[in-house]
């Protein structure tokens, strides 16, 4: 999406008074993007605006010819290109596979990244033992309309039309091959991290570890990370120390203010299922949050601490192996399918 938008923006430069812009999709489809004007209010960062509209911070900067995320001020009008149909339920569009020599329902399912049982369901009149060369097999593959979709469970799912996370303000992507998520997840993460940079220009860059592979599915050594809704990211280190990679973090190294801000910003989108954070680090978050005025009652749904580390409560909770990074899982999005 990013590249295409940028391309069309160049083409449309100076003509953005138009209320909508036709953008060619990868295939023959055309979708209409609408220009929405966001007026900046006091205290808003570019990241927060991207977060509110669920667009990519890099796109937002391109659309507005911003050289940095600090090129905004209250009263300024920010252009946002949005797809008005973005949240509408996808129309399943059939794709046809013409049977070739050696094809079976299993091999067709594997080829398109779906399950054999689905191929059977979409072709109830076809006997799988008697398919013939040239026969047409219908495939209602998720994401046929080009939108990125998380499908199935995080532990056994897939990703359709995954969007690759790229470097963005305050973020460095370690392994691009393992950095695909749904467009929504990628946009939310990049925006929230840019928002931290908006508040603390000296904030170090975080390192993005694994999200999912391009089409999702098994990503060793993880059990989850299969459907484009999970991400591993480093913590903010105190003193704005920039970490080259994942490094174990002790409570004294942990920058509670920035980490709290990042987590709370993401949680406020109401699209976070949980964030795994080491128990010892949670104590730092808890104390910091209280120091800026949060009450015990307010913190109860957010943090597992001070409950015991095995208590499965609080959006931020302990899981082993999260001393050097946090793991965030996003909730199922409005267009995700069979998502659990
Ligand atoms: Zn993880």
**What is the pLDDT of the chain when averaged over all its residues?**
89
pLDDT higher for 2 or 70?
A: 70
Q: How confident is the model at residue 11 (pLDDT cuts 50, 70, 90)?
A: very low
pTM of the model: 0.83
Distance 252 CA to ligand 1 centre (A): 23
The residues near 156 (Cβ < 8 Å, ≥ 6 apart) are: 226
Cα 216 to middle of ligand 1, angstroms: 14
Residue 9 reports pLDDT greater than 70: no
- The pLDDT tens digits of the residues spanning 198-249 come to 999 999 999 999 999 999 999 999 999 999 999 999 999 999 999 999 999 9
- Cβ neighbourhood burial of 39 (10 Å; 0-12, 13-18, 19+): exposed
Delineate the domains of the chain, giving CATH numbers in brackets.
2-82 (3.10.350.10), 95-139 (3.10.350.10), 158-330 (3.30.1380.10)
**Ligand 1 midpoint to CA 231 (Å):** 6
Half-sphere exposure of 236 (CA within 13 A, CB side): 22
CA of 287 to the centre of ligand 1 (A): 25
What pLDDT sits at residue 208?
Answer: 97
Categorize the per-residue pLDDT at 115 as very low, low, confident or very high, splitting at 50, 70 and 90: confident
Q: What is the pLDDT of residue 114?
A: 80
pLDDT band at residue 118 using 50, 70 and 90 as cut-offs: confident
Average pLDDT over residues 80-109: 84
Query: What digits encode the pLDDT tens for the residues 159-195?
Result: 999 999 999 999 999 999 999 999 999 999 999 999 9
What are 54-89's pLDDT values in tens digits? 999 999 999 999 999 999 999 999 999 988 877 777
The residue written with tokens 């990049």 in the block is 190
Question: How many angstroms separate the alpha carbon of residue 195 from the centre of ligand 1?
Answer: 22
Beta carbons of 298 and 260 less than 8 angstroms apart: no
In this predicted structure, what is the pLDDT of residue 87? 74
The mean per-residue pLDDT over the stretch 34-57 comes to 96
Question: Residue 255 has what pLDDT?
Answer: 98
Residues less than 5 Å from ion ligand 1, measured at CB? 232, 327
Per-residue pLDDT band at 273 (split at 50, 70, 90): very high
Per-residue pLDDT, 179: 97
Which tens digits make up the pLDDT trace of 296-321? 999 999 999 999 999 999 999 999 99
Residue 212 CA to ligand 1 center (angstroms) comes to 10
Residue 210 CA, ligand 1 centroid: distance in Å: 7
CA 246 – ligand 1 centroid, Å: 12
Q: Give me the count of residues in the chain.
A: 340
Residue 279, pLDDT > 60, answer yes
Res. 121: pLDDT tops 60: yes
160 Cα: distance to centroid of ligand 1 (angstroms): 20
* 331 alpha carbon – ligand 1 mean position (Å): 15
């Amino acid at each position: 999406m990013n590249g295409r938008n940028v391309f069309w923006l160049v083409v449309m430069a100076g003509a953005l008074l138009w209320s909508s812009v036709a953008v060619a999709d990868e295939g023959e489809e055309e979708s209409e993007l609408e220009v929405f004007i966001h007026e900046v209010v006091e205290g808003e960062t570019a990241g927060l605006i991207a977060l509110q509209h669920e667009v990519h911070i890099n796109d937002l900067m391109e659309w507005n010819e911003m050289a940095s995320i600090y090129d905004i001020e209250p009263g300024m009008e920010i252009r946002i290109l949005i797809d008005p149909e973005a949240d509408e339920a996808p129309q399943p569009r059939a794709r046809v596979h013409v049977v070739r020599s050696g094809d079976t329902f299993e091999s067709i399912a594997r080829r398109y990244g779906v399950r054999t049982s689905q191929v059977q369901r979409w072709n109830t009149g076809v006997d799988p033992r008697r398919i013939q060369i040239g026969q047409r097999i219908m495939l209602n593959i998720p994401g046929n309309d080009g939108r990125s979709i998380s499908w199935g469970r995080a532990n056994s799912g897939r990703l359709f039309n995954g969007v690759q996370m790229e470097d963005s303000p305050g973020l460095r992507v370690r392994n691009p091959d393992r950095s695909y998520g749904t467009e929504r997840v990628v946009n939310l993460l990049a925006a929230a991290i840019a928002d931290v940079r908006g508040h603390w220009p000296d904030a170090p860059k975080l390192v993005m570890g694994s999200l999912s592979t391009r089409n999702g599915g098994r990503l060793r050594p993880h059990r989850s990370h299969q459907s484009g809704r999970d991400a591993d990211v480093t913590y903010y280190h105190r003193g704005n120390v920039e970490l080259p990679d994942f490094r174990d973090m002790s409570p004294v190294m942990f920058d509670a203010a920035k980490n709290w801000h990042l987590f709370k910003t993401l949680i406020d989108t109401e699209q976070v299922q949980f964030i795994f954070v080491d128990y010892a680090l949670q104590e730092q978050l808890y104390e910091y949050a209280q120091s800026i005025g949060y009450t015990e009652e307010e913190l109860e749904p957010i943090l597992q601490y001070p409950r015991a580390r095995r208590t499965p409560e609080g959006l931020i909770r302990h899981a082993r192996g999260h001393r050097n990074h946090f793991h965030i899982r996003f909730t199922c999005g409005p267009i995700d399918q069979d998502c659990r």
